Structure 1
Protein backbone atom coordinates (compact mmCIF):
# COMPACT_ATOMS: atom_id res chain seq x y z
CA UNK A 1 0.00 0.00 0.00
CA UNK A 2 1.38 3.42 -0.97
CA UNK A 3 2.24 5.76 1.87
CA UNK A 4 -0.03 8.75 2.32
CA UNK A 5 1.33 12.05 1.03
CA UNK A 6 1.14 15.45 2.71
CA UNK A 7 2.18 18.81 1.25
CA UNK A 8 3.26 21.28 3.94
CA UNK A 9 3.78 25.01 3.45
CA UNK A 10 6.22 26.99 5.60
CA UNK A 11 8.28 23.90 6.48
CA UNK A 12 11.63 25.62 7.01
CA UNK A 13 11.10 26.08 10.75
CA UNK A 14 8.65 25.91 13.63
CA UNK A 15 5.40 23.98 13.24
CA UNK A 16 5.98 23.23 9.55
CA UNK A 17 9.41 21.70 10.12
CA UNK A 18 8.24 19.72 13.15
CA UNK A 19 5.23 18.43 11.22
CA UNK A 20 7.34 17.36 8.25
CA UNK A 21 9.63 15.36 10.54
CA UNK A 22 6.77 13.83 12.55
CA UNK A 23 4.69 12.77 9.53
CA UNK A 24 7.81 11.25 7.93
CA UNK A 25 8.55 9.38 11.15
CA UNK A 26 5.01 7.97 10.98
CA UNK A 27 5.58 6.67 7.45
CA UNK A 28 4.02 9.43 5.36
CA UNK A 29 5.61 10.85 2.24
CA UNK A 30 6.18 14.56 2.83
CA UNK A 31 6.53 17.47 0.40
CA UNK A 32 8.14 20.01 2.74
CA UNK A 33 7.87 23.36 0.99
CA UNK A 34 9.46 26.72 1.76
CA UNK A 35 10.46 29.89 -0.06
CA UNK A 36 14.16 29.02 -0.07
CA UNK A 37 15.00 25.28 0.01
CA UNK A 38 18.68 26.17 0.48
CA UNK A 39 17.75 27.16 4.04
CA UNK A 40 16.25 23.74 4.78
CA UNK A 41 17.29 22.15 8.04
CA UNK A 42 19.63 19.19 7.55
CA UNK A 43 17.14 17.03 9.46
CA UNK A 44 14.73 17.34 6.51
CA UNK A 45 17.19 15.63 4.19
CA UNK A 46 15.77 12.11 4.40
CA UNK A 47 14.14 9.64 1.98
CA UNK A 48 10.56 10.23 3.18
CA UNK A 49 10.83 14.01 2.62
CA UNK A 50 11.11 16.10 -0.55
CA UNK A 51 12.17 19.70 0.06
CA UNK A 52 10.55 21.95 -2.56
CA UNK A 53 10.40 25.68 -3.29
CA UNK A 54 7.00 27.28 -2.70
CA UNK A 55 6.19 30.92 -2.07
CA UNK A 56 2.51 31.18 -1.11
CA UNK A 57 2.36 34.72 -2.56
CA UNK A 58 3.46 33.50 -6.03
CA UNK A 59 0.94 31.52 -8.07
CA UNK A 60 3.50 30.02 -10.43
CA UNK A 61 5.64 28.92 -7.49
CA UNK A 62 2.61 27.15 -6.01
CA UNK A 63 1.84 25.45 -9.34
CA UNK A 64 5.43 24.24 -9.69
CA UNK A 65 5.45 22.78 -6.17
CA UNK A 66 2.13 20.99 -6.68
CA UNK A 67 3.38 19.57 -10.00
CA UNK A 68 6.65 18.44 -8.41
CA UNK A 69 4.77 16.75 -5.57
CA UNK A 70 2.56 14.88 -8.03
CA UNK A 71 5.56 13.88 -10.17
CA UNK A 72 7.26 12.43 -7.09
CA UNK A 73 4.30 10.87 -5.26
CA UNK A 74 1.42 10.78 -7.80
CA UNK A 75 -1.05 12.13 -5.23
CA UNK A 76 -1.67 14.61 -2.43
CA UNK A 77 -3.73 13.09 0.36
CA UNK A 78 -3.43 16.05 2.72
CA UNK A 79 -2.47 19.72 2.56
CA UNK A 80 -1.13 21.48 5.65
CA UNK A 81 -1.49 25.25 5.21
CA UNK A 82 1.04 26.42 7.76
CA UNK A 83 3.00 29.29 6.15
CA UNK A 84 2.48 32.60 7.90
CA UNK A 85 3.87 35.18 10.30
CA UNK A 86 2.59 37.62 12.91
CA UNK A 87 2.52 41.40 12.52
CA UNK A 88 2.35 43.08 15.93
CA UNK A 89 1.78 46.74 16.69
CA UNK A 90 -1.04 49.29 16.80
CA UNK A 91 -3.20 49.45 13.69
CA UNK A 92 -2.39 53.15 13.33
CA UNK A 93 1.32 52.37 13.00
CA UNK A 94 0.95 49.59 10.43
CA UNK A 95 1.36 50.89 6.89
CA UNK A 96 -0.74 49.59 4.03
CA UNK A 97 2.11 47.52 2.59
CA UNK A 98 2.62 45.72 5.92
CA UNK A 99 -1.09 44.97 6.23
CA UNK A 100 -1.40 43.82 2.61
CA UNK A 101 1.61 41.53 3.01
CA UNK A 102 0.15 40.08 6.20
CA UNK A 103 -3.06 39.17 4.36
CA UNK A 104 -1.18 38.04 1.23
CA UNK A 105 0.78 35.50 3.25
CA UNK A 106 -1.61 34.37 5.98
CA UNK A 107 -4.89 34.37 4.04
CA UNK A 108 -4.64 34.88 0.27
CA UNK A 109 -1.65 32.55 0.02
CA UNK A 110 -3.52 29.88 1.95
CA UNK A 111 -6.47 30.30 -0.40
CA UNK A 112 -4.41 30.01 -3.58
CA UNK A 113 -2.49 26.94 -2.41
CA UNK A 114 -5.81 25.31 -1.50
CA UNK A 115 -7.35 26.25 -4.86
CA UNK A 116 -4.46 24.62 -6.72
CA UNK A 117 -4.55 21.43 -4.65
CA UNK A 118 -8.33 20.90 -4.62
CA UNK A 119 -8.64 19.70 -8.24
CA UNK A 120 -6.12 16.96 -7.43
CA UNK A 121 -8.18 15.87 -4.42
CA UNK A 122 -11.49 16.03 -6.28
CA UNK A 123 -10.05 13.82 -9.02
CA UNK A 124 -8.94 11.35 -6.34
CA UNK A 125 -12.35 11.41 -4.68
CA UNK A 126 -10.96 12.31 -1.28
CA UNK A 127 -8.59 14.60 0.57
CA UNK A 128 -7.89 16.60 3.69
CA UNK A 129 -7.17 20.31 4.18
CA UNK A 130 -5.48 21.19 7.48
CA UNK A 131 -5.36 24.93 8.17
CA UNK A 132 -3.14 26.26 10.96
CA UNK A 133 -5.11 28.98 12.69
CA UNK A 134 -4.58 30.14 16.29
CA UNK A 135 -6.52 30.78 19.44
CA UNK A 136 -6.60 34.39 18.16
CA UNK A 137 -8.84 33.09 15.41
CA UNK A 138 -11.46 32.98 18.15
CA UNK A 139 -10.44 35.81 20.50
CA UNK A 140 -8.77 39.15 19.88
CA UNK A 141 -5.67 40.47 21.60
CA UNK A 142 -4.35 44.07 21.55
CA UNK A 143 -1.55 45.07 19.20
CA UNK A 144 -2.16 42.18 16.83
CA UNK A 145 -5.14 43.44 14.86
CA UNK A 146 -3.93 42.52 11.36
CA UNK A 147 -2.72 39.09 12.46
CA UNK A 148 -5.95 38.46 14.39
CA UNK A 149 -7.98 39.52 11.35
CA UNK A 150 -6.21 36.97 9.13
CA UNK A 151 -6.83 34.19 11.65
CA UNK A 152 -10.50 35.11 12.08
CA UNK A 153 -10.73 34.96 8.28
CA UNK A 154 -9.06 31.52 8.14
CA UNK A 155 -11.58 30.24 10.69
CA UNK A 156 -14.58 31.46 8.69
CA UNK A 157 -13.10 30.32 5.39
CA UNK A 158 -12.46 26.84 6.76
CA UNK A 159 -15.91 26.49 8.28
CA UNK A 160 -17.54 27.51 5.00
CA UNK A 161 -15.30 25.31 2.83
CA UNK A 162 -16.06 22.17 4.79
CA UNK A 163 -19.69 22.34 3.60
CA UNK A 164 -18.66 22.99 0.00
CA UNK A 165 -16.16 20.14 -0.05
CA UNK A 166 -18.16 17.51 1.81
CA UNK A 167 -19.82 16.14 -1.38
CA UNK A 168 -16.32 15.41 -2.75
CA UNK A 169 -15.22 13.59 0.45
CA UNK A 170 -12.66 16.31 1.19
CA UNK A 171 -12.53 17.20 4.86
CA UNK A 172 -11.35 20.49 6.38
CA UNK A 173 -9.79 20.82 9.82
CA UNK A 174 -8.49 23.76 11.85
CA UNK A 175 -5.48 23.58 14.17
CA UNK A 176 -5.61 26.22 16.91
CA UNK A 177 -2.35 26.57 18.86
CA UNK A 178 -1.85 28.99 21.70
CA UNK A 179 1.54 30.69 21.89
CA UNK A 180 4.21 28.61 20.17
CA UNK A 181 7.90 28.27 21.04
CA UNK A 182 9.01 28.95 17.49
CA UNK A 183 11.11 31.38 15.45
CA UNK A 184 9.52 34.59 16.77
CA UNK A 185 11.83 37.49 16.07
CA UNK A 186 13.56 35.55 13.28
CA UNK A 187 11.09 35.96 10.43
CA UNK A 188 7.83 34.75 12.01
CA UNK A 189 7.15 38.08 13.72
CA UNK A 190 7.20 41.72 12.64
CA UNK A 191 6.59 44.72 14.88
CA UNK A 192 5.18 48.10 13.86
CA UNK A 193 5.84 50.81 16.45
CA UNK A 194 4.35 54.20 17.32
CA UNK A 195 5.46 56.44 20.19
CA UNK A 196 2.00 57.18 21.67
CA UNK A 197 1.35 53.43 22.04
CA UNK A 198 4.86 52.39 23.06
CA UNK A 199 4.42 51.97 26.83
CA UNK A 200 1.28 49.87 26.66
CA UNK A 201 2.57 47.87 23.68
CA UNK A 202 5.79 47.06 25.52
CA UNK A 203 3.72 45.77 28.42
CA UNK A 204 1.68 43.62 26.04
CA UNK A 205 4.80 42.21 24.38
CA UNK A 206 6.24 41.46 27.81
CA UNK A 207 3.13 39.47 28.75
CA UNK A 208 3.23 37.74 25.36
CA UNK A 209 6.89 36.78 25.81
CA UNK A 210 6.18 35.35 29.28
CA UNK A 211 3.25 33.38 27.90
CA UNK A 212 5.39 32.13 25.01
CA UNK A 213 7.96 30.77 27.47
CA UNK A 214 5.30 28.38 28.83
CA UNK A 215 3.91 27.50 25.44
CA UNK A 216 3.59 24.30 23.50
CA UNK A 217 6.59 23.34 21.40
CA UNK A 218 6.28 23.00 17.61
CA UNK A 219 6.65 19.25 18.18
CA UNK A 220 3.60 19.29 20.49
CA UNK A 221 1.57 21.01 17.80
CA UNK A 222 2.81 18.59 15.13
CA UNK A 223 1.37 15.73 17.17
CA UNK A 224 -2.01 17.47 17.32
CA UNK A 225 -1.88 17.99 13.55
CA UNK A 226 -1.07 14.31 13.02
CA UNK A 227 -3.97 13.30 15.27
CA UNK A 228 -6.31 15.55 13.29
CA UNK A 229 -5.03 14.12 10.01
CA UNK A 230 -5.91 10.62 11.18
CA UNK A 231 -9.29 11.51 12.70
CA UNK A 232 -11.94 10.26 10.28
CA UNK A 233 -14.67 12.27 12.00
CA UNK A 234 -16.08 15.58 10.80
CA UNK A 235 -14.65 17.45 13.78
CA UNK A 236 -13.47 20.90 12.67
CA UNK A 237 -11.33 22.39 15.45
CA UNK A 238 -8.31 20.96 17.29
CA UNK A 239 -6.79 22.97 20.13
CA UNK A 240 -3.06 22.69 20.81
CA UNK A 241 -2.29 23.75 24.39
CA UNK A 242 -4.36 26.94 24.17
CA UNK A 243 -3.35 28.28 27.60
CA UNK A 244 -5.32 30.11 30.31
CA UNK A 245 -6.29 33.15 28.22
CA UNK A 246 -8.35 30.97 25.91
CA UNK A 247 -10.31 29.38 28.75
CA UNK A 248 -10.82 32.69 30.57
CA UNK A 249 -12.19 34.16 27.34
CA UNK A 250 -14.53 31.18 26.93
CA UNK A 251 -16.03 31.30 30.41
CA UNK A 252 -15.84 34.89 31.69
CA UNK A 253 -18.58 37.42 30.88
CA UNK A 254 -17.42 39.89 28.24
CA UNK A 255 -17.09 42.81 30.67
CA UNK A 256 -14.95 40.77 33.07
CA UNK A 257 -12.79 39.47 30.21
CA UNK A 258 -12.16 43.00 28.94
CA UNK A 259 -11.22 44.29 32.41
CA UNK A 260 -8.79 41.40 32.85
CA UNK A 261 -7.15 41.92 29.48
CA UNK A 262 -6.83 45.67 29.86
CA UNK A 263 -5.32 45.29 33.32
CA UNK A 264 -2.89 42.58 32.27
CA UNK A 265 -1.78 43.91 28.92
CA UNK A 266 -2.60 47.52 28.29
CA UNK A 267 -2.68 49.78 31.33
Structure 2
Protein backbone atom coordinates (compact mmCIF):
# COMPACT_ATOMS: atom_id res chain seq x y z
CA UNK A 1 0.00 0.00 0.00
CA UNK A 2 1.29 3.45 -0.92
CA UNK A 3 2.11 5.80 1.92
CA UNK A 4 -0.15 8.80 2.42
CA UNK A 5 0.57 12.37 3.57
CA UNK A 6 -2.20 14.71 4.76
CA UNK A 7 -1.21 18.36 4.13
CA UNK A 8 -2.98 21.49 5.38
CA UNK A 9 -2.57 24.79 3.55
CA UNK A 10 -1.71 23.01 0.29
CA UNK A 11 -3.05 25.58 -2.17
CA UNK A 12 0.14 27.65 -2.37
CA UNK A 13 3.78 27.89 -1.35
CA UNK A 14 5.36 25.26 0.85
CA UNK A 15 2.20 23.16 1.11
CA UNK A 16 1.67 23.04 -2.64
CA UNK A 17 5.31 22.28 -3.40
CA UNK A 18 5.34 19.53 -0.78
CA UNK A 19 2.24 17.96 -2.32
CA UNK A 20 3.89 17.87 -5.74
CA UNK A 21 7.18 16.55 -4.35
CA UNK A 22 5.56 13.67 -2.46
CA UNK A 23 3.47 12.83 -5.53
CA UNK A 24 6.66 12.52 -7.56
CA UNK A 25 8.04 10.24 -4.85
CA UNK A 26 5.08 7.91 -5.37
CA UNK A 27 3.07 8.79 -2.26
CA UNK A 28 -0.65 9.41 -2.20
CA UNK A 29 -1.28 13.03 -1.22
CA UNK A 30 -4.31 14.48 0.54
CA UNK A 31 -3.95 18.17 -0.29
CA UNK A 32 -6.29 20.13 1.97
CA UNK A 33 -7.26 23.78 1.87
CA UNK A 34 -10.16 26.05 2.79
CA UNK A 35 -11.03 26.75 -0.86
CA UNK A 36 -10.46 23.60 -2.96
CA UNK A 37 -11.01 25.51 -6.21
CA UNK A 38 -7.67 27.25 -5.60
CA UNK A 39 -5.80 23.97 -5.88
CA UNK A 40 -7.40 22.43 -8.95
CA UNK A 41 -4.12 22.55 -10.88
CA UNK A 42 -2.72 20.03 -8.39
CA UNK A 43 -5.02 17.40 -9.85
CA UNK A 44 -2.80 17.19 -12.94
CA UNK A 45 -0.26 15.40 -10.75
CA UNK A 46 -0.73 11.69 -10.08
CA UNK A 47 -1.81 10.48 -6.66
CA UNK A 48 -3.06 13.90 -5.45
CA UNK A 49 -6.62 14.39 -4.21
CA UNK A 50 -8.02 17.64 -2.82
CA UNK A 51 -10.14 17.94 0.33
CA UNK A 52 -11.77 20.96 1.97
CA UNK A 53 -10.43 21.72 5.44
CA UNK A 54 -10.76 24.75 7.68
CA UNK A 55 -8.28 24.14 10.49
CA UNK A 56 -10.54 26.07 12.87
CA UNK A 57 -13.54 23.84 12.09
CA UNK A 58 -13.21 20.47 13.82
CA UNK A 59 -16.09 18.98 11.85
CA UNK A 60 -14.42 19.78 8.52
CA UNK A 61 -11.16 18.24 9.79
CA UNK A 62 -12.87 15.01 10.86
CA UNK A 63 -14.83 14.84 7.63
CA UNK A 64 -11.64 15.21 5.59
CA UNK A 65 -9.75 12.58 7.61
CA UNK A 66 -12.60 10.12 7.12
CA UNK A 67 -12.73 10.89 3.39
CA UNK A 68 -8.97 10.41 3.00
CA UNK A 69 -9.13 7.05 4.77
CA UNK A 70 -11.93 5.96 2.46
CA UNK A 71 -10.07 7.07 -0.67
CA UNK A 72 -6.50 6.03 0.19
CA UNK A 73 -7.00 3.49 2.98
CA UNK A 74 -4.50 5.00 5.40
CA UNK A 75 -2.64 8.13 6.55
CA UNK A 76 1.03 7.90 7.49
CA UNK A 77 2.06 11.55 7.87
CA UNK A 78 0.26 14.71 8.94
CA UNK A 79 1.90 17.91 7.70
CA UNK A 80 0.50 20.92 9.59
CA UNK A 81 1.42 23.69 7.18
CA UNK A 82 -1.44 26.22 7.12
CA UNK A 83 -0.19 29.57 8.40
CA UNK A 84 -0.71 33.33 8.55
CA UNK A 85 1.73 36.18 9.07
CA UNK A 86 0.99 39.38 11.01
CA UNK A 87 3.87 41.84 11.41
CA UNK A 88 4.41 45.42 12.45
CA UNK A 89 4.06 47.49 15.59
CA UNK A 90 2.41 45.45 18.34
CA UNK A 91 0.54 48.51 19.62
CA UNK A 92 -1.17 48.82 16.22
CA UNK A 93 -2.48 45.25 16.21
CA UNK A 94 -6.11 44.65 17.01
CA UNK A 95 -7.39 41.87 19.23
CA UNK A 96 -9.03 40.32 16.16
CA UNK A 97 -5.74 40.29 14.21
CA UNK A 98 -3.84 38.76 17.12
CA UNK A 99 -6.55 36.15 17.57
CA UNK A 100 -6.36 35.25 13.87
CA UNK A 101 -2.61 34.81 14.21
CA UNK A 102 -2.92 32.40 17.13
CA UNK A 103 -6.00 30.67 15.70
CA UNK A 104 -4.21 29.76 12.47
CA UNK A 105 -0.67 29.09 13.64
CA UNK A 106 -1.39 27.39 16.98
CA UNK A 107 -5.00 26.38 17.51
CA UNK A 108 -5.32 25.17 13.93
CA UNK A 109 -2.29 22.92 14.38
CA UNK A 110 -3.70 21.62 17.66
CA UNK A 111 -7.14 21.00 16.13
CA UNK A 112 -5.83 18.90 13.24
CA UNK A 113 -3.31 17.07 15.44
CA UNK A 114 -5.91 16.19 18.06
CA UNK A 115 -8.28 14.96 15.36
CA UNK A 116 -5.79 12.55 13.80
CA UNK A 117 -4.29 11.17 17.01
CA UNK A 118 -6.98 8.50 17.62
CA UNK A 119 -6.22 7.05 14.18
CA UNK A 120 -2.44 7.15 14.65
CA UNK A 121 -2.81 5.52 18.08
CA UNK A 122 -5.01 2.80 16.65
CA UNK A 123 -2.33 1.74 14.19
CA UNK A 124 0.54 2.43 16.60
CA UNK A 125 2.43 4.64 14.15
CA UNK A 126 2.38 8.06 12.54
CA UNK A 127 4.45 11.16 11.90
CA UNK A 128 3.30 14.69 12.73
CA UNK A 129 5.29 17.41 10.95
CA UNK A 130 4.71 21.10 11.60
CA UNK A 131 5.81 24.13 9.62
CA UNK A 132 7.49 26.08 12.38
CA UNK A 133 10.16 28.68 11.63
CA UNK A 134 13.61 29.76 12.67
CA UNK A 135 11.38 32.41 14.26
CA UNK A 136 10.38 29.78 16.78
CA UNK A 137 13.90 29.87 18.22
CA UNK A 138 15.13 33.41 17.46
CA UNK A 139 13.37 36.75 17.00
CA UNK A 140 13.37 39.79 14.72
CA UNK A 141 11.75 43.18 15.16
CA UNK A 142 8.10 43.66 14.12
CA UNK A 143 7.33 39.93 14.35
CA UNK A 144 6.43 39.83 18.05
CA UNK A 145 3.02 38.12 17.71
CA UNK A 146 4.15 35.87 14.84
CA UNK A 147 7.14 34.80 16.94
CA UNK A 148 4.85 34.22 19.90
CA UNK A 149 2.92 31.64 17.87
CA UNK A 150 6.03 29.89 16.56
CA UNK A 151 7.67 29.79 19.99
CA UNK A 152 4.42 28.30 21.30
CA UNK A 153 4.49 25.73 18.48
CA UNK A 154 8.05 24.74 19.37
CA UNK A 155 7.10 24.21 23.00
CA UNK A 156 3.94 22.33 22.09
CA UNK A 157 5.81 19.93 19.79
CA UNK A 158 8.74 19.40 22.15
CA UNK A 159 6.43 18.43 25.00
CA UNK A 160 3.99 16.45 22.86
CA UNK A 161 6.68 14.08 21.62
CA UNK A 162 7.06 12.61 25.12
CA UNK A 163 3.46 11.44 25.45
CA UNK A 164 3.20 10.19 21.86
CA UNK A 165 6.44 8.20 21.76
CA UNK A 166 4.88 5.15 23.53
CA UNK A 167 2.50 4.94 20.55
CA UNK A 168 5.36 5.14 18.02
CA UNK A 169 4.12 8.56 16.87
CA UNK A 170 6.88 10.96 15.91
CA UNK A 171 6.65 14.76 16.17
CA UNK A 172 8.86 16.96 14.00
CA UNK A 173 9.21 20.69 13.32
CA UNK A 174 10.48 22.12 10.04
CA UNK A 175 12.22 25.46 10.74
CA UNK A 176 12.62 27.46 7.52
CA UNK A 177 14.57 30.65 7.23
CA UNK A 178 13.50 33.13 4.54
CA UNK A 179 11.76 31.22 1.74
CA UNK A 180 10.52 32.87 -1.45
CA UNK A 181 6.81 32.00 -1.68
CA UNK A 182 3.50 33.82 -1.82
CA UNK A 183 3.69 34.08 1.98
CA UNK A 184 5.86 37.20 2.05
CA UNK A 185 3.41 39.06 -0.20
CA UNK A 186 0.48 37.90 1.92
CA UNK A 187 1.98 39.11 5.20
CA UNK A 188 -0.32 41.60 6.92
CA UNK A 189 1.67 44.68 7.94
CA UNK A 190 0.31 47.15 10.50
CA UNK A 191 1.69 50.32 12.02
CA UNK A 192 0.70 53.70 13.40
CA UNK A 193 2.37 57.03 12.72
CA UNK A 194 4.30 57.09 15.99
CA UNK A 195 6.19 53.95 14.88
CA UNK A 196 6.50 54.63 11.16
CA UNK A 197 10.06 55.93 11.32
CA UNK A 198 11.11 52.52 12.63
CA UNK A 199 8.59 50.08 11.20
CA UNK A 200 8.60 51.09 7.54
CA UNK A 201 12.37 50.87 6.85
CA UNK A 202 12.80 47.76 9.00
CA UNK A 203 9.87 46.04 7.32
CA UNK A 204 11.32 46.82 3.88
CA UNK A 205 14.71 45.43 4.91
CA UNK A 206 13.03 42.24 6.11
CA UNK A 207 11.14 41.92 2.83
CA UNK A 208 14.39 42.36 0.89
CA UNK A 209 15.70 39.14 2.41
CA UNK A 210 13.13 37.22 0.36
CA UNK A 211 14.53 38.48 -2.96
CA UNK A 212 17.50 36.11 -2.84
CA UNK A 213 15.86 33.43 -0.72
CA UNK A 214 15.49 29.86 -2.00
CA UNK A 215 12.12 28.61 -3.17
CA UNK A 216 9.77 26.25 -1.37
CA UNK A 217 11.34 23.21 -3.04
CA UNK A 218 14.09 23.14 -0.41
CA UNK A 219 11.46 22.92 2.32
CA UNK A 220 9.56 20.18 0.50
CA UNK A 221 12.74 18.12 0.40
CA UNK A 222 13.26 18.67 4.13
CA UNK A 223 9.68 17.58 4.83
CA UNK A 224 10.43 14.44 2.82
CA UNK A 225 13.52 13.81 4.95
CA UNK A 226 11.53 14.28 8.16
CA UNK A 227 8.77 11.98 6.91
CA UNK A 228 11.14 9.27 5.73
CA UNK A 229 14.15 9.09 8.02
CA UNK A 230 12.42 6.99 10.71
CA UNK A 231 14.05 8.99 13.51
CA UNK A 232 12.66 10.81 16.52
CA UNK A 233 14.59 13.94 15.56
CA UNK A 234 12.51 17.00 16.49
CA UNK A 235 13.97 19.99 14.61
CA UNK A 236 14.88 20.40 10.93
CA UNK A 237 16.31 23.84 10.07
CA UNK A 238 16.28 24.63 6.35
CA UNK A 239 16.73 27.34 3.76
CA UNK A 240 18.50 30.63 3.36
CA UNK A 241 20.42 31.82 6.38
CA UNK A 242 18.17 29.97 8.80
CA UNK A 243 20.51 27.14 9.87
CA UNK A 244 23.44 29.57 10.24
CA UNK A 245 21.41 32.04 12.30
CA UNK A 246 20.17 29.28 14.58
CA UNK A 247 23.76 28.18 15.12
CA UNK A 248 24.84 31.77 15.85
CA UNK A 249 22.02 32.16 18.35
CA UNK A 250 23.26 29.05 20.16
CA UNK A 251 26.90 30.14 19.98
CA UNK A 252 26.71 33.82 20.94
CA UNK A 253 25.56 35.57 24.11
CA UNK A 254 22.05 36.95 23.59
CA UNK A 255 23.21 40.58 23.73
CA UNK A 256 25.76 39.94 20.97
CA UNK A 257 23.25 38.15 18.82
CA UNK A 258 20.65 40.91 19.21
CA UNK A 259 23.26 43.53 18.32
CA UNK A 260 24.06 41.53 15.17
CA UNK A 261 20.37 41.42 14.23
CA UNK A 262 19.95 45.16 14.81
CA UNK A 263 22.99 45.94 12.66
CA UNK A 264 21.33 44.17 9.75
CA UNK A 265 17.64 44.97 10.02
CA UNK A 266 17.96 48.58 11.20
CA UNK A 267 20.53 49.70 8.62
CA UNK A 268 18.00 51.91 6.76
CA UNK A 269 17.16 53.94 9.87
Which category describes the TM-score, using the shorter chain as reference length? over 0.9
Shift of the alpha carbon at 1:43?
A: 3.6
How far does the alpha carbon of each residue in 1:26-83 deviate from its partner, in whole angstroms, 9 at most, with x for none? Answer: 0100000001001115144333001111111111111111111111112111000000
CA RMSD of aligned residues (A): 1.4
Match of 1:211 in 2: 209
Write the distance in 2 (CA, Å) between the matches of 1:257 and 1:5. 41
2:45 partner SS: coil
Counterpart mapping for 1:118-157 below 5 A: 118-157=117-156
Contact 2:134 2:176 in 1 (8 A): yes
Shift of the alpha carbon at 1:186?
A: 4.7
How many residue pairs are counted as aligned between the two chains? 265
1:70 maps to 2:83: no
1:106 maps to 2:105: yes
Shift of the alpha carbon at 1:203?
A: 2.0
Residue ranges of structure 1 left out of the alignment (5+ in a row): none
Shift of the alpha carbon at 1:262?
A: 2.4
Write the distance in 2 (CA, Å) between the matches of 1:154 and 1:185. 20
Write the distance in 2 (CA, Å) between the matches of 1:211 and 1:82. 22
Counterpart mapping for 1:188-207 below 5 A: 189-207=187-205
Shift of the alpha carbon at 1:113?
A: 0.2
1:249 partner SS: helix
Write the distance in 1 (CA, Å) between the matches of 2:77 and 2:161. 14
Shift of the alpha carbon at 1:252?
A: 2.4
Contact 1:21 1:44 in 2 (8 A): no
Contact 1:200 1:265 in 2 (8 A): no
Counterpart mapping for 1:166-181 below 5 A: 166-181=165-180
Contact 1:18 1:219 in 2 (8 A): yes
How far does the alpha carbon of each residue in 1:209-249 deviate from its partner, in whole angstroms, 9 at most, with x for none? Answer: 22112222111110011011111121111111250543433
Contact 2:184 2:207 in 1 (8 A): no
Match of 2:232 in 1: 234
Write the distance in 2 (CA, Å) between the matches of 1:240 and 1:100. 28
Match of 2:249 in 1: 249
1:216 partner SS: coil
Write the distance in 1 (CA, Å) between the matches of 2:166 and 2:159. 13
Contact 1:135 1:242 in 2 (8 A): no
Q: Measured at CA, do residues 210 and 247 of structure 1 come closer, stay the same or move farther in structure 2, by a change above 3 Å? A: farther
Residue ranges of structure 2 left out of the alignment (5+ in a row): none
How far does the alpha carbon of each residue in 1:82-105 deviate from its partner, in whole angstroms, 9 at most, with x for none? Answer: 000110111111100000010000
Write the distance in 2 (CA, Å) between the matches of 1:149 and 1:8. 23
TM-score with structure 2 setting the length: 0.94
1:40 partner SS: helix
1:57 maps to 2:56: yes
